[in-house]
Structure 1
Amino acid sequence: MKALRLIQKAEVVVYDRLVSDEIMSMVNQDAELIYVGKKLDHHCVPQDQINQVLVDKAQENKHVVRLKGGDPFIFGRGGEELEKLALESIPYEVVPGITAAAGCTAYAGIPLTHRDHAQSVHFITGHLKKEGMDVDWNGLAKGNTTLVFYMGLKESPNIQAKLMNHGLSGATSVAIIERGTTPRQRVLTGTLDGLADLATQAISPSLIVVGSVTSLHKELNWFDN
C-alpha cells in the first residue's frame, strides 16, 4: 500500500522492463515517466546514466520514484543507485518488494524450503563469469538446498555442467518458471541433466529452480487449477 501511495503522488517515475502495465496504470497520470528497461545483453540505459537521472531529477526538487520489479536489493542494483544518491546527499527511502524467487515459486506451488527436502535456499545471478570463479559451485552442489538462478536461461548449459561436475546428481529435479505470477505463467519441469534442453523451450523472464522441492510442483500447483 505504501508503494501505491508513493507512485500515485510521484512527479517522476523511473521504471524497469519488468514493471507490469497493470502497475503502471496506477501511476500518477501527470507524472513524467522515464523508461530504463533492461534485458539480458541489452541495456536500454547504462546503469551510470540511470544513477545520474535519479540525481538530476531529485535535484530539481521533484518527488522521484524508482520503480522496479521484485525487490530492489536482490539483483536489482538498488544498492548501486542508493550509493550514488548518498554520495550526492540526496535523501531517500526504500520500500521493499517481493523478490521473484519468493513470488514465482509460491505461484508455481514450489516451496523454497521444506522439512523433507531443503533446509536452506540460495539465490544466484545467472550473469556468471565464464571462469566460474564468482560462484562456490562445490558448496551449491552439496544438496539438501534449493538453488534459484535469476536471469539464467542463457547460462543454463553452464549451470548444468558446473553443478554436475561438482557432484550434484543429474537426476536432481529442476523447474523453470516463465513469466511467474502473471496470467501467462508457465512452469517447465525436468531433471538437471536435461536443464539446458529444457531452457530452450522457455523465454525471458524466467527463473531456474534446482532442488527436490521442485518435484512438489505437480502436487501443489494451485495456479493452473
Structure 2
Amino acid sequence: MKNKGTVYIVGSGLGRISDLTLRAYQLLKTADIVFYDRLVNDNLLQLTKEHCELVYVGKKPYASSHTQEDIESQLLAAAQKHQVILRLKSGDPFVFGRGGEEGMTLKDAGVTFEIIPGISSVINGPTYGGIPVTYREYSRSFHVYTAQSKDGETDFDWHSIVQFGGTHIFLMGLRALSNIVRQLQIAGMPETTPIALVQWASRPNQRTVIGELRTIEEKVRKAQLTSPVVIVVGDVVDFSESLNTFERLPWFGQRVGFPTEARIEQMIAFESMGAELVLYPRGTKRIQKESENISWVFIPSIESMHSAERFFSREIGLKFGTVSDQVRESIDITQSKFWIGEVHHEDRNYISQFWNEL
C-alpha cells in the first residue's frame, strides 16, 4: 500500500499537559488528523492546529462502541490522505492499549508508522495517589493485570498472584473489585492486606480510597467511585497518606479557563499548583458543558480577552485573572478580581496566597 503520510501511535499519559512527552506535544501541534480514545483529556485536543481533524474512536466498557477493526481501517484510509496522522491514546500505547495490534496492522499494510511512549497509568495512577509501587523492604516487585479481557473473564491463577508477593496493580477493575477481593482472600492473601483505589488520577475529580481487603468494598460504595480507577494491593498502600502530595496542592480540584495561545510555561505553572485547565477558544462544547465548574478564567493578552468574552458569561460569577496591565485596564475591574505579575513556577506561592484570599 502506497501511503502519503506517517501514522504516529502516541501515548498521552493521564491527560495533564505537563505529563506529555516533548515528542507527543510536538506531534499534537503538527497533526493533520487525530484519532483519540475515550479517556484522552480534551485539553490535549485543543493543542492541535486550527484545521486539524479530530475523530473520536473511543470504546466504553460494557457498551457498544467502535470496533478495533473499524479503527484500524480508518487509520489505513487516513494514511492515504494526510501527512501526519495521530492515534492518540491514554497512558502508554503498549500497556493494555492495543497499540501493538494497530502497529502490526499498519506494518502488514506497508504503512509508515512510529510508536511514541507515554507514562502508563500503571505508574502514574499510584504515584498521583501517593503510592510507590516499589519500596525497599516493603516491595521489590510489582505485577500488573487488566480486569478486562476479550471474552470478559478474569481467569487468573490467583494462588500464583498471592505467592508472587510485591505490589499488585489491576487496571479497569472497578466492576471486578468484588471478585478480585474475594479471589485474593481465597488464595490465601490476609484480609488485612492494604488496598487502594485511585479514581481519575491526575484530574480534578481524583479520589483515593484506602482500606483493607475486608473493608474496601464498603468504603468504595460509600465513596461512590466511578471508572476509571487503578487498584493497588500491597503494603506500599500505607504510604499514601504521607506521600499523596497531589491532592494537597493549593488549587487541586479547581478548573481554570485558559486560552490555547498561552505559553506552555504558563499552562504548566497552573497545572503544577493542581489546577485543571479548560482551554478556549477551540473547546466551545466543553466550555458550555463545564462553565459552571470553572473557578477562574486566565487572560494573558487582549486577543484572549476577546475570546473569553465570547465563551464565558459573567452571569455565572467567574473571576478573571491576568498578567497584563493592558488587559487589566481594559476590563471593568469592579466586576472581576485580578492578579498582576508574571506567572512562573516560582510565583506559585504568591498566586496561591492570593487565591486563598478570594
Q: TM-score, normalised by structure 2?
A: 0.60
Partner of residue 61, structure 2? 40
Report the identity percentage: 36
Partner amino acid, structure 2, of 1:220: L
Which one has the largest radius of gyration? 2
Matches within 5 A, 1:96-107: 96-107=117-128
Which residue in 2 is equivalent to 1:222? 245
CA 1:132–1:111: 2 relative to 1, 3 Å: same
Partner of 2:225: 202
- Tell me the TM-score normalized by structure 1: 0.94
Q: Deviations over 1:127-151 (max 9, x none)?
A: 1567653x22112112631111110
> What CA deviation, in whole Å up to 9, does each residue of 1:181-206 have, x standing for no partner?
11221100001123333443310111
Measure the CA separation in 1 of the matches of 2:50 and 2:88: 15
Aligned residues: 224
Give distance in 2, aligned partners of 1:47 and 1:164.
Answer: 35
**Residue in 2 aligned with 1:116?**
137
Residue equivalent to 1:94: 115
Q: CA deviation at 1:41?
A: 0.9
Give the gaps of 5 or more residues in structure 1: none
Q: Separation in 2 of the partners of 1:162 and 1:103?
A: 26
5+ residue gaps, structure 2, are 1-21, 249-358
Q: Deviations over 1:50-71 (max 9, x none)?
A: 1111111112243210001100
Aligned to 2:97: 76
CA distance in 1, matches of 2:103, 2:154: 28
Where in structure 2 are the equivalents of 1:6-155 lying within 5 Å? 6-127=27-148, 132-133=154-155, 135-142=156-163, 144-155=165-176
- Deviation per CA, 1:10-53: give whole Å up to 9, x if none: 11100011111221111122111110112211242111101111
Distance across 2 between alignment mates of 1:36 and 1:125: 21
CA–CA separation in structure 1 for the residues paired with 2:63 and 2:154: 22
SS at match of 2:79: helix
| Two-structure CA RMSD over aligned residues (Å) | 1.6
SS of the counterpart of 1:193?
Answer: coil
Pairing 1:163–2:184 present: yes
- Deviation of 1:219 (Å): 1.5
